[in-house]
Amino acid sequence: MSGNITKRGKNSWQIRFDAAPVADGKRQRRHVTVRGSYADAKRELTRLLAARDTGMLPSPTAATVGQYLQSWLDTATGRSPKTLERYRELARWQISPHLGDVPLQKLSPEMVRHWHAKLIDKVSALTTRHAHRLLRQVLATAVKDGTLARNVADVHKPPKVKRSEVEILTFEQIAAVQDALQGHTLYPIVALALGTGMRRGELLAIQWGDIDLDSATLQVKRSLEETSAGLRLKEPKSDAGWRTVTLSAATVGMLRAHKIEQMQFRLAVGAGALKDDTLVFTDINGQPLKPHTVSRAWRRVVEAKDLPRVTFHSLRHTHASVLIASGLDILTISRRIGHAKPSVTLDVYGHLMGGADAACAVAIGKILK
């Protein structure tokens, strides 16, 4: 019931062993090729025999990485349409062209490492990490299903991504943006983004029933997502996404004016009065605004009015940076902008907190002699 090792090439070995106890005189022989030294082959044989003896030896399959990946995508649950759309893009462009034809059970750590090297020459480190993360999820499912004995994507880590500092507006630039957009159709959503730090999809999913102007609060309950199949409203990804945001007096005033203007327009075109489920931001036909449409409109007005060249998402970063500069604690900031953990907030905005460290030096200096 033990196995044997035969040399095949300079750094190649073939392992033969019985996959199960002999029954009715029939032997289930397995053959595995191992690259490396004899010691590597011996360790692999020991691992395979241990897996067999504990019932963890995978059953043979002819499926390739590409075939198993496609099956995984077709049966994946618990992911949003947008996430699955991104997974399919990664599978099509980053995984299948390089690893798709490799037999699933012959995929090795060395192949994964070479795959990383090929990807990093063509795409960013971030895309490489996303592709690796998807492959790792797929192989983890294969391990749970008993198709693989181990997850080879756990051996070599993808390249690290150098985090770039977030783009933000200075206090003077915030005032300049607001002044330049007075009377522009983008003004209300830009002002609310600066005043709340909400994500673009969250802003586009706000309904008037979510806002209490008298108590100056806004409840974040959903987000608008754009996929190839169209627009859809979805719930926040985490519990932290469900939150109540307190509004400043200036933001309340802006929303009151926007509400009156929207009511007047609807009455003029015969759309009827505002309802609780009426979206705060819509197109001229009262339909939801597409996220990419808002970003494109922002880029155009930035260029037309010679405003600071930052993305629409930078308005959210700007809000967080103002809170940090005001000395608010990181937990409060994290909750307000809807991060799942304060550590995420620190990871994104930690470089903006240099002044806080200087304050620490002053504080400890008062105690030490």
* pLDDT digit string, tens, across residues 324-356: 888 889 999 999 999 999 998 988 887 776 665
Q: Confidence band (pLDDT; 50, 70, 90) for 265?
A: very high
Q: Are residues 16 and 77 in the same domain?
A: no
Q: Are residues 237 and 332 in the same domain?
A: yes
Tell me which of 58-67, 76-85, 325-334, 355-364 is least confident: 355-364
CA distance 21 to 28: 8
Q: Are residues 23 and 104 in the same domain?
A: no
pLDDT of residue 23: 56
Whole-Å CA distances, 186 to 40, 181, 199, 323, 342: 63, 7, 15, 23, 31
Query: Does 28 have pLDDT greater than 70?
Result: yes
pLDDT of residue 354: 63
pLDDT of residue 53: 84
Domain tally, the chain: 3
Count CB-CB contacts under 10 A for residue 48: 21
- CATH number of the domain residue 128 falls in: 1.10.150.130
Q: Are residues 177 and 324 in the same domain?
A: yes
- Looking at 124, 154, 184, the residue that finishes a domain is 154
Q: Are residues 204 and 328 in the same domain?
A: yes
One-letter-per-residue 3-state SS of 20-50 = CCCECCECCEEEEEEECCHHHHHHHHHHHHH
Q: Are residues 232 and 341 in the same domain?
A: yes
Please, what is the end-to-end C-alpha distance for the chain in angstroms? 74
pLDDT of residue 205: 98
Q: Are residues 251 and 312 in the same domain?
A: yes
Query: Does 20 have pLDDT greater than 80?
Result: no
Does residue 367 lie within any of the structural domains? no
CA distance 71 to 68: 5
Residue reference for tokens 């802003």? 203
Q: Are residues 45 and 70 in the same domain?
A: no
Q: Are residues 209 and 328 in the same domain?
A: yes
**Structure tokens that stand for 265 in this block:** 């327009």
Give the neighbor-by-neighbor strand order of the sheet with 243-246: 211-212, 217-220, 243-246
- Calculate what percentage of the chain has a pLDDT beyond 90: 69
**Structure tokens that stand for 153 in this block:** 């994507």
pLDDT of residue 347: 85
Query: Does 17 have pLDDT greater than 70?
Result: yes
Segment 296-327, tens digit of pLDDT: 999 999 999 999 999 999 999 999 999 988 88
The identity of residue 310, as a single letter, is: V
Does residue 284 lie within any of the structural domains? yes
Tell me which of 19-33, 163-177, 244-258 is least confident: 19-33
Tell me which of 6-10, 29-33, 186-190, 249-253 is least confident: 29-33
pLDDT of residue 24: 59
CA distance 79 to 141: 15
CA distance 218 to 246: 6
Element (H, E) at 246: strand 243-246
The identity of residue 235, as a single letter, is: E
Does residue 243 lie within any of the structural domains? yes
Kindly tell me the sign of the dihedral angle through the C-alpha atoms of 138, 144, 147, 148.
Answer: positive
Domain membership of residue 38 as a residue range: 4-53
Q: What is the mean pLDDT of residues 103-129?
A: 94
Residue reference for tokens 């809807």? 338
Mean pLDDT, the chain, as a whole number? 91
